[in-house]
A and B are shown apart, each in its own frame.
Chain A
Amino acid sequence: MTKEVVLLDLWLSPFGMRVRVALAEKGVEYEYREEDLGNKSQLLLQMNPVHKKIPVLIHNGKPICESLVIVQYIDETWKDKAPLLPSDPYQRAEARFWADYIDKQIYSCGRMLWTTKGEEQDAAKKELKECFKLLEEHLGDRTYFGGDNLGFVDVALISFYSWFYAYETCGNFKMEEWCPKIVSWAKTCMQRESVSKSLVDPLKVCHDFVLPRRKTLGLD
């Protein structure tokens, strides 16, 4: 019997992890299906013909694609529990702005950092540091970006915590030195079951994927 909610995902995808966190926050039961991106399933190709990418949320047979679109869909559909976006329009605009910033900057800078070396990597490192420092400034003294509770921006960013160790190892730096408040924020988030059960082990991401991939690319 097909479950009402199905998630097509990849274990280490920061985009997929966002969706897992959102579903867990809302207490939604779902079927998780791991995709092999080297051999994409018929279902994935059928449900996301435009991009052929994960994550894809399938709700009652209908696909929703693009992680932040999915998270907003989850927030609006299961609206009686754990609201991710605030109710005030200005605060919602702020949250959307910063989620968009995270989308535009963190993934690409992080990817540049772990797939390059030398000057290219140094440039990526510098940019990534600036991004995290800006986010730290925006967080300020709040527990979460969402204030007292986990919100849209927290969900958008926390999935990258699984990649911090990989970034640190490849770039030879410590997030704790760059942005201690962000690290402390991440640890606070990890105390929530919705987050700790949705994110993958940072050591696994680094040792099982990133470092072997770097070797294949001839970078180490």
Chain B
Amino acid sequence: MAKGEVKLLGSWPSPYVMRARIALNLKSVEYEFLEEKLGVKSELLLKSNPVHKKIPVLLHHSKPICESLVIVQYIDEVWSSGPAILPSDPYDRAVARFWASYVDEKFFPALRALPMAQGKEAMEAAMHPVKEGLALLEDAYANHSKGGPFFGGGQISYLDVAFGCFLGVIRVSEKVTGVALINEHTTPGLAGWAEEFCAHPAVEDVMPDTDKLTEFINRIIKMKSQSPN
């Protein structure tokens, strides 16, 4: 099923890289995972993504594709015989793209700030937009999942991949703050969805272990506090 040489430049903690890996797994595509080292960008990365110099980069027959959601759509279109990632109906596609864009532009920036918040007041202030975002996503899940268990209904799909990749960071934030951001009480739909998503064969091996990710994020926070760049 693999269509030629496929490589992915990435790193295990990155949610954006995870999106690409899940998509490749969904299509049963064999690929070589080239792990970038923290703090050092490889020659190959700089050459393949000169505009942003960021991971993930998919290399297909040595041609680079950059930006995680562009990569996911590319994988969906090239390996078209595998299970569809984007829905087929244009309106459903627009809804999926809208929420993926929301997750990238509003939700993740708020989520990312949470583990960095120092002190009770800062923590509470940082928590607010994250909880708001989760409430919106809970609504989206209720409105569009057609009974679930995934945003895509019975099958894992684009929005599951776009949002689910952040479950690692969500779990770290829950651990650090002691607050269950996704829970049976306030976000029952998302609580069920998160379990199903993480247990999915395309996801379980690439979702980072919470303790390992916590340690990694703490290292980043330490690095940032030591050198204000």
Q: Which residues of A contact B (CB under 8 A)?
A: 50, 59, 62, 64-66, 69-70, 72-73, 76-77, 89-90, 92-93, 96-97, 100-101, 134
Q: Do residues A73 and B74 form an inter-chain contact, with CB atoms below 8 A?
A: no
The digit string for B39-58, where 1 denotes a CB below 8 A from any CB of A, is 00000000000010000000
Interface residues of B in 75-91 (CB under 8 A from A): 77-78, 90-91
Chain A positions within 8 Å of B101 at CB level: 66, 69
A69 to B98, CA, bound (A): 6
The digit string for B60-71, where 1 denotes a CB below 8 A from any CB of A, is 100101110111
A64 to B96, CA, bound (A): 11
A92 to B63, CA, bound (A): 13
Chain B positions within 8 Å of A64 at CB level: 91, 94, 98
Q: Do residues A93 and B71 form an inter-chain contact, with CB atoms below 8 A?
A: yes
Chain A positions within 8 Å of B60 at CB level: 90
* Interface of B, helix, strand, loop or mixed by DSSP: helix
Known: A69-B101, A90-B74. 5 other contacts (CB 8 A): A50-B136, A59-B91, A77-B90, A93-B65, A96-B73
Q: Which 6 A-B pairs have the closest CB atoms?
A: A76-B90, A89-B77, A73-B94, A93-B74, A69-B97, A96-B70
Q: Which residues of B contact A (CB under 8 A)?
A: 51, 60, 63, 65-67, 69-71, 73-74, 77-78, 90-91, 93-94, 97-98, 101-102, 136
- Kindly identify which residue among B71, B77, B93, B98 contacts A76, using a CB–CB cutoff of 8 Å: B93
Which of chain B's residues has its CB closest to A89's CB? B77
Which of chain A's residues has its CB closest to B97's CB? A69
Which of chain A's residues has its CB closest to B99's CB? A50
Q: Do residues B94 and A72 form an inter-chain contact, with CB atoms below 8 A?
A: yes
Pairs across A and B, CB under 8 Å, 12 listed: A50-B102, A59-B91, A64-B91, A66-B97, A69-B98, A73-B93, A73-B94, A76-B90, A89-B74, A90-B63, A93-B73, A97-B66
Chain B positions within 8 Å of A101 at CB level: 51
Chain A positions within 8 Å of B74 at CB level: 89-90, 92-93
The smallest beta-carbon distance between B46 and chain A, in angstroms, is 15
Chain B positions within 8 Å of A62 at CB level: 91
- Kindly identify which residue among A69, A76, A90, A96 contacts B67, using a CB–CB cutoff of 8 Å: A96
A97/B98 contact (C-beta < 8 A), A62-B91, A89-B78 known: no
Chain A positions within 8 Å of B63 at CB level: 90
Q: Do residues B67 and A100 form an inter-chain contact, with CB atoms below 8 A?
A: yes
Chain A positions within 8 Å of B90 at CB level: 73, 76-77
Chain B positions within 8 Å of A59 at CB level: 91
Which of chain B's residues has its CB closest to A138's CB? B51
| Among B94, B97, B101: residue with most chain A CB under 10 A | B94
